[in-house]
Structure 1
């Protein structure tokens, strides 16, 4: 099948991304689509750390576990949605991303909102992935 790979690009005539993401991610026809629930900063004991960066650490551990359960890697990720209730330390978040996924950055949306599902939750990250 022609173009049977997930591709990411920043089209000509567009401003450069203001962060680590691409403007468009294309998945080939007949790919399997995976959508995670928003992963949060809860640990294995059901506890939420106080600091945003500790919640980011737990969130990425949870993302890794859910992706690993379907044998998905960075190459499979097509879209990321990030919601946070306080300022994100982008250096820390990107370092956690790069630990798990390297420098593959799919399409991404980030929103700062007033609250998430529980008062303890400071960040929630949803992953969309596909297998070609």
Structure 2
């Protein structure tokens, strides 16, 4: 089982994430490429960060399922936003997903950066993920 925690002696997280995650022996890592806010047909889910984040996180959930995993197997999320104006929408959609995925608040580690641009101008959000799944 993945252990996630934020130890004493370090300031508490400023959001819904853990400072540390430990993956025990007997797990294989899944590395998920940056997911953007597109629907299954490849069309952008919407113009705003909130809608795009929901779609990107749904894509991550589907990719995990395709590999026999769930969000409980996530070790790390890494998000990139194309502008600070997208912070509120991203955080709202992320909070919704984390509340659903982790009702006991056992959140994965997480990093967030604002970049000059993403792959195309209409993209507001891109989210990468790392998961650890028990080996069979």
In the superposition, the TM-score normalised over structure 1's length comes to 0.88
How much has 1:75 moved relative to structure 2? 2.3
- Within 5 Å, which residues of 2 pair with 1:76-91? 76-86=73-83, 87-89=86-88, 90-91=91-92
CA RMSD of the aligned region, Å?
1.5
Which 5+ residue runs of structure 1 have no aligned equivalent?
none
Q: Distance in 1 between matches of 2:81 and 2:10?
A: 27
Which 5+ residue runs of structure 2 have no aligned equivalent?
none
How much has 1:82 moved relative to structure 2? 0.6
How much has 1:91 moved relative to structure 2? 2.6
Alignment partner, residue 25 of structure 2: 29
Alignment partner, residue 127 of structure 2: 125
Alignment partner, residue 115 of structure 1: 117
- Within 5 Å, which residues of 2 pair with 1:46-61? 46-48=42-44, 49-61=46-58
In the superposition, the TM-score normalised over structure 2's length comes to 0.85
Q: Is this contact kept in 1: 2:80–2:115, CA < 8 A?
A: yes
How much has 1:50 moved relative to structure 2? 1.0
- More off after superposition, 98-107 vs 118-127: 98-107
- Does residue 1:15 correspond to 2:14, yes or no? no
More helix by share: 2
Q: Distance in 2 between matches of 1:104 and 1:38?
A: 23
How much has 1:58 moved relative to structure 2? 1.2
